[in-house]
Amino acid sequence: MSSILTNSSAMVALQTMRSISTNLAKTTADISTGKTVATAKDNAAVWAISKVMESDVQGFKGISDSLALGSSTIAVARQASETITSLLTQVKGKIVAAQESNVDRGKIQTDIVALRNQIDSVVGAAQFNGLNLVDGSQTSIDVLASLDRSGTSVTASSIPVTAQDLSIGAYAAKGVLAGSDGVSTAADTAGFAIDAAGTGTIVIDDSAAPFAAGDSVSLSIGGKTANYTVTAEDVASTTASDLVAVGLKKAVESLGISGLTVDYDSGTAGTLVFTNGGTADLSVSAQFKNAGSGGLGALSSIDVSNSAGATAALGNIEAMMQTAIDAAASFGSVQTRVDIQKDFVSKLTDSMKAGIGSMVDADMEEASARLQALQVQQQLSTQALSIANQQPQSLLSLFR
């Protein structure tokens, strides 16, 4: 049955044209935006995931900047530590030269003071963006390293960096080693050699100036170093000298030096007697460092202008060199870790971007082919609708 009121063919053609137009509009949008999921309307679940990942990518960009800043800060500290190690090596050469009797120790001391001032200059200049990791102003810093996501919970993780105190600092003499063999004029350094089967004495004496928490005494024996740091409990005791001497005795014994015995004389406050039971001579040097001085505070008390001072300085410089070497090694290790993390974050960010793209980016080859097909379909649907609209015209011939 034909009807002039209802044209079913035209309605079908019109619905087909509308469907094709909708698909054509979607394909055109994909091509213009480059995304197949540009809004939440396109695919709510995929859009939500992509937005979460995009926020993480933005966060990792900030982390990458943090790691770059941290790496530069650590690099400055490492370079300073290596430079200080080199300068201390030169100081050691001067001290070794001062062991000879027929030298001008005064001029050697002048050179040592110049090198000490240069070390102080290096420590002061070793800052990046105002942060100095070698002057004792910091104990540690954290370098932001990662964002750790667990479901909807996000936490930040950091790489800890331990600062190193290589400052010379303010040194306050206390005469702690007064009464020791080979004591210097400041009574804060002592040095002597123990012949085979010989003995030597170190006396810990805080009667002139009481200990403070953080004060320390180091002993260099046969190329090995033992340290003891005064605690608050030691300071509170009435026998602080004895406690420090006993602590230092244990530290020396832990070195395991063959043939060496250390006796503590409880009848004489703070007295340690070293006996060389081996066949080779042992060089012994002691250094007191007050809590207010820097990591290289002992450098300020080195004085090779006399024989006793030159002997004591030889052992003390080894401990300071080890401090600088340990600092450089520590900074080098943590800088390597930061650089590895920086490289990982860069690759992780690229992977996340690729993952987001695989979810929301349009396949341009497919979109191009689909566009051409839809354009042809649109032309055909237009032609079909035109034909369907002409069908009622044929009814006029029935009424002629």
How confident is the model over 20-49, as pLDDT tens digits?
888 887 888 778 777 888 888 888 888 888
Percent of the chain at pLDDT > 90 equals 30
Calculate helix-pair angle for 44-97, 105-125, nearest 10 degrees: 170
Interval 222-271: pLDDT, tens = 778 888 989 999 989 888 999 999 999 999 999 888 889 999 877 788 89
SS3 label, residue 374: helix
**Gap between the Cα atoms of 54 and 218, Å rounded:** 56
Give the residue, 294 or 203, on which the prediction is more confident: 203
Fold classification of 189-291 (topology level): Alpha-Beta Plaits (3.30.70)
pLDDT digits (tens, 9 = 90+) for 164-213: 988 886 667 788 998 898 887 677 888 888 888 889 999 998 888 889 88
Answer for the pair 333, 154: CB distance below 8 angstroms, yes or no.
Answer: no
pLDDT (0 to 100) of residue 128? 93
Q: What is the largest CA-CA distance in the chain?
A: 145
Q: Which helix (H) or strand (E) holds 332?
A: helix 307-360
Residues 68 and 146: beta-carbon distance below 8 Å: no
CB 283 within 8 A of CB 182: no
Please give the CATH architecture assigned to the domain spanning 47-168+328-352.
Up-down Bundle (1.20)
pLDDT tier, 337 (very low <50, low <70, confident <90, very high otherwise): very high
CA distance 242 to 45: 73
Lowest-pLDDT range of 12-21, 76-85, 100-109: 12-21
Beta bridge mates, 162: 140
pLDDT digits (tens, 9 = 90+) for 86-134: 999 999 999 999 988 888 989 999 999 999 999 999 999 999 999 999 9
State both tokens at 311: 């002997």
pLDDT at 273: 92
Reduced DSSP (H G I as helix, E B as strand, rest coil) percent helix, strand, coil of the chain, to 5: 55, 20, 30
* pTM passes above 0.75: no
Q: What is the pLDDT of residue 170?
A: 65
**CA 340, CA 274: separation in Å to the nearest integer?**
48
Residue-range domain boundaries for the chain:
47-168+328-352, 189-291
